[in-house]
Amino acid sequence: MSAVVERVRLSDRMPTVERRSGRSGSGARASVPCRGCGSTLTGALMHDAKTAPGAHWSASGGAIATVPNAWALPAGPLDVGGTCPGATSECAGCYAAVLETAYPSFRGMLDSNRDAVMHALTCGGVVGCAELLTAVVRRSVDLQRADGVRRPAFRWHADGDIMSMSYGRAMRRAILATPDVDHWGYTRTLGAVRLFDGVPNLRLYVSADRDNVDKASAVANRWGRPLALLADDSDDARALWERVGDAVPEPVTCPAAGRWQDDGVGPAHVVGSDGRRSTLVRGGPAMGACISCAVCLPVGRVRSVTFLRHGSARDALGSVARVRIGGAK
C-alpha cells in the first residue's frame, strides 16, 4: 500500500454556515430496500464529538457533535452480541461498552445497525450490505456538505469493529464507492486488514495492546498499515513500542489522549471552531479533535499513533455528552 500524500486545508473540513443539520433526529439515518426481500433496511449515523467537523461545548460542560459522520455497531465479543471478534482482555472497561450499558437507547441504536447489516448480508449478500453502508456514508456526506464542509470525512466504527470478512468486503465496496470522502478507522479484526489493500481513500489502523501487539504489528507490517497502540502511560507506551521496533511507521501520541487532557482548556476531544484549543470556550462552537489533528485521516504522512489510557470505565460516564443518542435533538 502506498501512502496518499495530499495537503488539505483545515478550512475545507469546517462547517461554514450557521445551520446545523445534525439537530434533526430522523435526518441522521439512511434507508435502502433489501436486495433480497425488498424490506427496508435502515442505518443510523452516530454523532461523535471527537470525530465531527462541527460540535458544541454546552454550558453544562459536555461537548456534542452537531454534524454526524461516524458509523457504530455494538462493542464486545461476538458471543455477547458485539461485533469485535478481535477483542482482548485489554478491552475490559471499554468506554463504548460503558456508554452502551448506561444508555439503553444508544445500545438499541447500535443493535439495530448490527441487525440491519446482518439482514443485508444474509438476504442480499456483500453487494446488498454494501448498498446499505454506502447509503449511510452518502447521508453523512449530504449533511456535512449542507453545513458547508468541503472535504467530508467519515469515521468507521466509533463503536464496534469489522464483525466478519463478508462485512469487511461490503465496507470496502462502500469506501470505494465514495472516493470524495476521507475514511478512517481502527480494527482489531486482524484477518480483515488485507481486504483493504489498495484502497486509497482509507486510513486503516491496526489496533494493538499488550495482549495482541506482536500479532498486530506483524499484520500491520505485512500490509503496510500504521499501528494504533493502547498504553497505560508514556512509560508503558515506550516499552510496547520497543517490542514493535521499526516494523511500522513512526508513532505520534494522540493529543486528545495526551497533552489536551491536562491543558486546562476544556474537554480533550474537541477544539475551537477554527481548529485551535486556545479558542475553545464553554457554551460555544467547536469541532472534533480528530478533524483538527488529521493525523489519522488519509492525507499526508502516514504515522502510527499511541492512545494513552485516560481514566477508568467509571470515568467514561463523564464523557457521555460526546455521543448523541440516535440523532435526537
Q: Is residue 306 in a domain?
A: yes
C-alpha cell read off for 15: 462547517
Inter-residue contact 35 to 125 (CB < 8 Å)? yes
Q: Is residue 242 in a domain?
A: yes
Mean pLDDT of the chain: 89
Q: Is residue 144 in a domain?
A: yes
Confidence category of residue 94, pLDDT binned at 50, 70, 90? confident
3-state secondary structure 67-96: CCCEEECCCCCHHHCCCCCCCCHHHCCCHH
Cβ-defined contacts of 214-217 (< 8 Å, 24+): 214/243, 215/190, 216/188, 216/190, 217/243, 217/244, 217/245, 217/247, 217/248
Q: Is residue 64 in a domain?
A: yes
Query: In whole angstroms, what is the distance from residue 177 CA to residue 155 CA?
Result: 15
DSSP calls for 114-131? HHHHHHHHHHHHHHHHHH
Q: Is residue 157 in a domain?
A: yes
For residue 40, give the amino acid letter.
T
C-alpha cell read off for 275: 481548529
pLDDT greater than 80 at residue 53: yes
Q: Is residue 5 in a domain?
A: no
CA distances from 296 to 42, 45, 129, 269, 307 (A): 28, 20, 26, 14, 12
Beta bridge partners of 187: 206
Q: Is residue 287 in a domain?
A: yes
Confidence category of residue 22, pLDDT binned at 50, 70, 90? very low
Per-residue confidence (pLDDT) for residue 313, from 0 to 100: 38
Inter-residue contact 67 to 20 (CB < 8 Å)? yes
Name, in order, each residue with C-beta under 8 angstroms of 148's C-beta and a sequence gap of 6 or more.
14, 15, 16, 17
Per-residue confidence (pLDDT) for residue 247, from 0 to 100: 87
Burial of 39 (0-12, 13-18, 19+ CB in 10 A): exposed
What is the extent of the structural domain holding 134? 10-327
Rounded to 5°, the CA angle 316-319-324 comes to 120
Of 138-142, 157-161, 186-190, 245-249, the range with the lowest mean pLDDT is: 245-249
Per-residue confidence (pLDDT) for residue 240, from 0 to 100: 97
Q: What is the mean pLDDT of residues 23-47?
A: 87
Query: In whole angstroms, what is the distance from residue 109 CA to residue 87 CA?
Result: 21
Q: What is the mean pLDDT of residues 321-328?
A: 41
C-alpha cell read off for 105: 437507547
111-136 burial string, b = 16+ CB within 10 Å, else e?
ebbbebbbbbbebbebebbbbbbbbb
Q: What is the mean pLDDT of residues 97-119?
A: 93
**Domains held by the chain: number:** 1
Per-residue confidence (pLDDT) for residue 314, from 0 to 100: 35
% of residues, the chain, pLDDT over 90 = 78
Residue 312 half-sphere exposure toward CB, CA atoms < 13 A: 1
Per-residue confidence (pLDDT) for residue 327, from 0 to 100: 40
Per-residue confidence (pLDDT) for residue 299, from 0 to 100: 86
pLDDT single digits (tens) 181-202: 999 999 999 999 999 999 999 9
Q: Is residue 2 in a domain?
A: no
First to last CA, the chain: 41
Inter-residue contact 165 to 202 (CB < 8 Å)? no
Query: In whole angstroms, what is the distance from residue 165 CA to residue 186 CA?
Result: 15
